[in-house]
């Protein structure tokens, strides 16, 4: 019995090496990043509808185009999904590039700076831009590396 309990504690430490509570999951990872515009989404809003997470950088032209596409079409889907854009800050040449982009236009959705790579465990990607849809329980249900469009997003949201 002690062996089983010891194994379970060991297994939990492997799955959660930093000791963070597993219940936090993807939503906790988002909440642990730096807000660079707007206000963090409330627990109630995360629990009320799915969340689209976009990972991007300023040096990625497709990422910038994708952000502007989402901005231009935001009214078409804003009532159906939370939108969170996560800048992969550790890969930026200079954080001023991020702030300059944010100051250049009014972004209607939340922008976060992931300076310490807190989101990569829950939103892993090899290419950017990358889009992740998480359900109201914080579970990853869809993933896309490449360009998003309204048809794909509408298809993803059809189950909610």
* pLDDT, tens digit (0-9, with 9 covering 90-100), for 88-130: 998 899 899 999 999 999 999 999 999 999 999 999 999 999 9
The pLDDT of residue 139 is 95
In-domain check, residue 15: no
Residue 32 belongs to what domain range? 24-157
Give how many domains the chain has, as a whole number.
Answer: 1
In-domain check, residue 3: no
The pLDDT of residue 72 is 97
44 is written with which tokens? 């109630």
- Using CB atoms within 10 Å of the CB of residue 96, give its burial: 0 to 12 exposed, 13 to 18 middle, 19+ buried: exposed
The pLDDT of residue 11 is 33
In-domain check, residue 42: yes
Q: Give the whole-angstrom CA distance, residue 106 versus residue 116.
A: 26
In-domain check, residue 53: yes
* Per-residue pLDDT tens over the stretch 55-78: 999 999 999 999 999 999 999 999
In-domain check, residue 75: yes
Share above pLDDT 70 across residues of the chain, in percent, rounded to a whole number: 86
In-domain check, residue 135: yes
> Residues with Cβ < 8 Å from 19, sequence gap 6 or more?
13
**Any idea what the CATH number is for the domain that residue 44 is in?**
3.40.30.10
In-domain check, residue 71: yes
Averaged pLDDT score across all residues of the chain: 86
Torsion, Cα 62 63 69 74, to 10 degrees, reads: 160
pLDDT of residue 10 exceeding 90: no
pTM: 0.83
């Amino acid at each position: 019995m002690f062996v089983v309990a010891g194994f379970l504690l060991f297994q939990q430490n492997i799955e959660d090496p930093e000791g963070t509570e597993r219940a936090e999951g993807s939503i906790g990872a988002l909440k642990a990043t730096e807000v660079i515009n707007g206000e963090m989404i409330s627990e109630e809003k995360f629990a009320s509808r799915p969340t689209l997470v976009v990972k991007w950088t300023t040096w990625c032209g497709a990422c910038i185009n994708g952000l502007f596409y989402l901005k231009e079409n935001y009214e078409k889907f804003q009532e159906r999904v939370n939108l969170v854009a996560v800048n992969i800050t550790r890969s930026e040449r200079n954080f001023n590039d991020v702030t300059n982009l944010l100051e250049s236009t009014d972004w209607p959705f939340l922008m976060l700076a992931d300076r310490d790579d807190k989101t990569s465990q829950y939103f892993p990607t090899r290419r950017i831009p990358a889009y992740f849809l998480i359900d109201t329980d914080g579970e990853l249900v869809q993933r896309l590396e490449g360009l998003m469009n309204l048809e794909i997003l509408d298809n993803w949201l059809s189950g909610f």
